[in-house]
Structure 1
Amino acid sequence: MLDRWTMPLTQRPLTAIARHLARRGVTPDHVTLVAFIVGLLALPLLAFEVYWLALVAIVLNRTGDGLDGALARHVGQPTDSGGFLDIGLDFVFYAAVVLGFALADPERNALPAAVLLFAFIGTGTSFLAFAIMAARHDLNRPHFQRKAFYYLHGLTEGTETVVALVVFCVWPGAFPALALVFAIACMITTATRLWGGYHTLKALSSGGLSGTPDTKG
């Protein structure tokens, strides 16, 4: 929901860093992989309840997630393989963070973590399923030109997820309640994406739409 406003704000600093990295021969895939490895450190850190260090790992991972795309655009090398690697590792990272909280306090956190992972599966599958169909119908990305995939808007997107992960780390004792609230928001996103995606693709199949549909979910 907030990505369309936050993404333009982050492009200038990310591009400045990307120029610096490009001069040193760093590739976008290098950034993706390093960011993922750093992000995975959050899992054991959360499990051992070292929340502030886990927060650092999460922030560095999310910074790298934006930086790899900025670097790819700067060097003129945005690729399908890079976009695939980026989004695939993103979902593994999100699941790892939730698992970390479950391991930190299984008695209190396990069930809310399971519910949140269930909700993440819904947002992830609706995201990727529509991206596949959008590619088949040659839909472009009117609001997210910098994304590797076309997808429907929703209540919970990248910005909201980052904010949620940060809040979890700042107030770990409130994780059960916070996770359930965010899970509900993710389920709403899944429902609106499924509804919007179904009707968008149905209209395309019947010839009712052409070009760039309004996909505000």
Structure 2
Amino acid sequence: MRNLQVIRDNGLAPEANQWMPDNLYDLTGLVHFALIGAFLGAGLPLLHAAKMSQEMRWMHYDFGFGYMSGLRNFSHDEIKKLDVWTPGAGNYEFEFWLHHALKSQGIQSYSGFNAWDYDKVLLIADGALVSIDLHNQKHKMNMVWGKNTVPFGPDPFCRILPKNDPSNKLIQPVIDDPRINMDTGEFSLDVINEYRDAIYNSTSLLRINMSLATRKCADRIHDLRMNKGGTIFQS
């Protein structure tokens, strides 16, 4: 709780959902806290981890709970066996209740402590260039990079800026790189080559499984709610 208060005092916590009582977070907040925990586990200081997590939230859709947790890739055959209760045709996230069912009904193929194929993995090369990769990517195919087709591999995500950068930011999203034009779709191959070369030739490479961190966070909150009650997070 002390860490949470420090994060709040420094304006680095996710915003509580305006439709919920005070201090309640939605699934966006869950992913945010999961990333902070993952960065802490990787050795980053608390405020540095919290600020990096906050700034990485520019990619809202892809950092959604269903996508990030990997639950959207869960076997449909397994889902059919579950009693997945949902609150009706309101505004809710199916993956929240899917996770609840997986945990409550003890499905053997679900384990929040094991990495899954295609987990989203963050790679930080020499503390500078950050890419997103997939854990145990089995299908070696090509990927689209702007108007180019390149071999599948780590996807450039952002650049960690120097501490004295005048922007007072920790990261620069790759879409802000002047060599990328989002309007015309002109993405310089120099960018993806730079990021991939940084990984292959790095002295140090920090690897963070963001999907696994999200599942672990969801599991712990689920267990807390089942054991002690309460609504720390809601769908």
Q: Structure 1 length as normaliser, TM-score?
A: 0.27
Question: In terms of Rg, which structure is larger?
Answer: 2
If each structure's strand is expressed as a fraction of its own residues, which one has the higher value? 2
